[in-house]
Structures are given as structure tokens and as C-alpha cells.
Amino acid sequence: MTLGLPEERSGASKRAFANSCAFVLKYAAPSQVHKLIEETAALHSGDRNSLIACALLLKSYASTASDIVSGYYATVVPVIFLSRFEEEKNVSSLYEELWEESMTSERVTLQLYASEIVALITEGTASSSWASKRKSAKAIIKLCDVLEESVSSYR
């Protein structure tokens, strides 16, 4: 399954497509679920439209198939966490809202998925894009602020 959402211009069409994908996710075979989650998570490293598509899809998944998405938090949580630090406010606010709705405790969530988050941040710092480096630096600061000394075990 290839996600066609990023090319769509209409906000209503994007939301309808995201909701359809969420229903597919809810009833799909585990291999299809895995592929859909991976393709969705990969959208976070694209352009502005891809970032928005990723947020809309993850939000729909969380509301329609939260029991399934929770099994893929190791993939989803790092994407949501890192994307909260996008420079464009209307994009970062989508991820901030998703973070607040989906995660019960920031500290506990960051402790549980710290190694996956650090791996994604490391990719961002190695990127040739200054925007990715800046976003990763902001994520490192937040991670260190929340986890304090326990972050040192991930360097």
C-alpha cells in the first residue's frame, strides 16, 4: 500500500483519506498494519505536505485504532516527539497536540522510548539539512530537560 495523501491539496480530502486508512489499519492483517505504520512514519522526513499528512494519519490511527497503534509505539513515538520541534508552527502544533492527546506522562514515555528517540535524533543530526539538524538539537534539549541524568546512558 502506498500512501497518496501528501499529494492531495484539500484538507477535507486529506482527513477523509486519513480516516479511511485508520479503518484499514483496524481490520488489516498484521503484515499490512506493519507496512502502513512504517510508510506513515516515513512521511515525517518529507516536505511540509508529507509532515502534515503524517500527523493527520497518526491522529486518525490513534482515534480509530489506538489498540493497534499502541503496539507500534516504538516506531510512532519518536516521530511524534521529534516532529514537535518543526520550525513551522502550524506543523509543530499538530504534533504537539498529538503528543498531548496520546502520551500520558512525558517523562515515562521518553524513558520507555529513549533509545528509539535517540536513534531518530541521531539521523537528524547527521542530515545535510540544517532544518533537520536544528529540529534534532531542539529535541535533544527537551530530552535532556525531561530525563536529566538518565540521558547519559544513551550517548
Q: Where are the domains of the chain?
A: 5-148
DSSP 8-state code for residue 120: H
pLDDT above 80 for 4:
no
Closest to 69 measured CA to CA, from 18, 6, 136: 18
User: Is the pLDDT score of 62 beyond 80?
Assistant: yes
Write down how long the chain is. 155
- Non-local CB neighbours of 43 within 8 Å, separated by 6+ positions: 3, 5, 6, 50, 51, 53, 54, 57
In this structure, which amino acid lies at residue 66? Answer: S
Is a pLDDT exceeding 90 seen at residue 7?
no
The whole model's pTM is what?
Answer: 0.90
Q: pLDDT tens, 93-122? A: 999 999 999 898 999 999 999 999 999 999
